[in-house]
Structure 1
Amino acid sequence: MELIIHITGKVNYQITLDPSVWIFDDRKVDLDTYFQENKDKKDELEEYTKSISKHWDREIMEGAVFPPTLKSERKYEKQRMMEGTFGIPFEPFILNAEPQEGAKTLLIEHSEGATELPLNEALKLILGFSKNGKQLTDGGPVHVYYGDGTNQQSPLKGIKQFIIK
C-alpha cells in the first residue's frame, strides 16, 4: 500500500498528499457526525459577530468567567484524536494545485478501477484518513466520500492518485 497520493494532470503545481499528518490539521472533520450535521453555509462574519455579542452580553451580566482548566481540555482533545474517525475536505488541495484553464474533471484512480467526477463536485469530496483513531490500512491510505454522503457506507477505497483533466 502506497502511503502518499499525488494530484497530477492539468495543474500548475503537482501535489503530494501525506494522510499520516492530517490528524494534526485543524481542517479535519469528525466523520461520525459530519454527514448528519446541517450543511448550510453560514456567513462567517455574521456568526463571529453574534458569538462576540453573546460573550460580551454575558460578561456584562455575569462578569468575566474563566475556563475551568486547560489541562482537562487537552486531555479530552487527545482522547478524541486517539479514538476518532476523521476526514479532511479535498477542496484546499485542489485549489493549491491550481487547475489550469480547461480543466473540467477529476479522475480518481482506485483499487477497483477509476471514477470520474466534474471538478465542481470534486471540490466537495471528503478524504477519510482515520477510523477509530487508527490509520486506514484496509483500502487506505484514504477513503473518498462524496460531499453529500451518498457513498458513506461504501466509499471509494485503495486510492492511487487523482488526475485533473
Structure 2
Amino acid sequence: MIVQIAGNVNYPITLDPTVWIFDDRKITLEEAFGTVDKENTEEDELQKASMRWDREIYQQKIDPPVNRSISRFEKEKILKETYLMDLKPFIKTSEPANDSKGVTLETTQGNKEISIEDMRQALALFSVEGRPLKEDGPIHLYWEDGSNKNEPIKGVTKILFN
C-alpha cells in the first residue's frame, strides 16, 4: 500500500496513502470536481485553520503535550467521504531533475507514460467512503481539470521520472 517517487529525482521518497486520511491537505471528490460553493469552502478552511491554531495554543499550555483526537463528527465524516490528495508538495520535495523528459507510472495493469505537466496537476484518490483502495490501489490518478474523471489511472504503485 505504498507509492514510490523515484527515478531522475534528487530525493526519492516513499508515500503511504493510508495515513493521508488524517492529513489536513486532503480534499473531497466533490471539492475537486463538484460544484462546491467556494465561499463555503473558504469558510471551512478558515475554521479548520482556527481549530489548528487553538489546538496548538492549548497544547503549549499543557505539560507534557497531549495529542487531541479528532471529534466524533470529524470521525463520522471521514468514514463517509471519498478523498484525494494533491501530489504537488510530494513532487516538489522529491525535486525532479531539470532534464527529466517524462514520467512512467508503474501500475498493477502495466506501465503508462505521461508528461511531466500532467504529473504536476495530478490528484491521488486514496480513499473511497473512508476506506483505502485495496483491490485496484493504492492510488488512482486524476487530473485537476477533471479531463480523466471517468477514466483515472488505477493501481499506481510507483512514479518514475525519466
Q: What is the TM-score of this pair, normalised by structure 2?
A: 0.74
In the alignment, which of 23, 32, 37 is matched to residue 21 of structure 2?
23
Indicate conservation of the 8 Å contact 2:140/2:154, yes or no. Answer: yes
Letter in 1 for 2:90: F
Instruction: Name the count of aligned residue pairs.
Output: 133
Partner of 2:88: 91
Question: Whose Rg is larger?
Answer: 1
Partner of 1:32: 30
Q: Distance in 1 between matches of 2:96 and 2:6?
A: 9
Which residues in structure 2 correspond to 1:28-67 (within 5 Å)? 28-37=26-35
Which residues in structure 2 correspond to 1:143-158 (within 5 Å)? 143-158=140-155
Q: Distance in 1 between matches of 2:8 and 2:28?
A: 31
In the alignment, which of 120, 133, 138 is matched to residue 136 of structure 1?
133
Q: Distance in 2 between matches of 1:146 and 1:34?
A: 10
SS of 2:153's equivalent?
coil
Q: Distance in 1 between matches of 2:110 and 2:159?
A: 12
SS of 2:156's equivalent?
coil
**CA 1:106–1:37: 2 relative to 1, 3 Å:** farther
Partner of 1:62: none
Q: Distance in 2 between matches of 1:89 and 1:101?
A: 21
Indicate conservation of the 8 Å contact 2:139/2:157, yes or no. Answer: no
Q: Distance in 1 between matches of 2:80 and 2:105?
A: 28
2:40 matches 1:13:
no
Q: What is the TM-score of this pair, normalised by structure 1?
A: 0.73
The alpha carbon displacement at 1:14 in A equals 0.5
Q: Distance in 2 between matches of 1:98 and 1:37?
A: 33
- Structure 1: gaps (5+ residues): 41-46, 52-72
The alpha carbon displacement at 1:84 in A equals 0.9
- Larger strand share, 1 or 2: 2
Which residues in structure 2 correspond to 1:95-134 (within 5 Å)? 95-134=92-131
- Give the % identical residues: 36
2:157 matches 1:160:
yes
Alignment root-mean-square deviation, CA: 2.2
> Deviation per CA, 1:72-117, whole angstroms, max 9, x where unpaired?
x933222111111001001111100001120131111112222222
Partner of 1:57: none
Partner of 2:2: 4
Q: Distance in 2 between matches of 1:24 and 1:128?
A: 14
The alpha carbon displacement at 1:37 in A equals 4.2
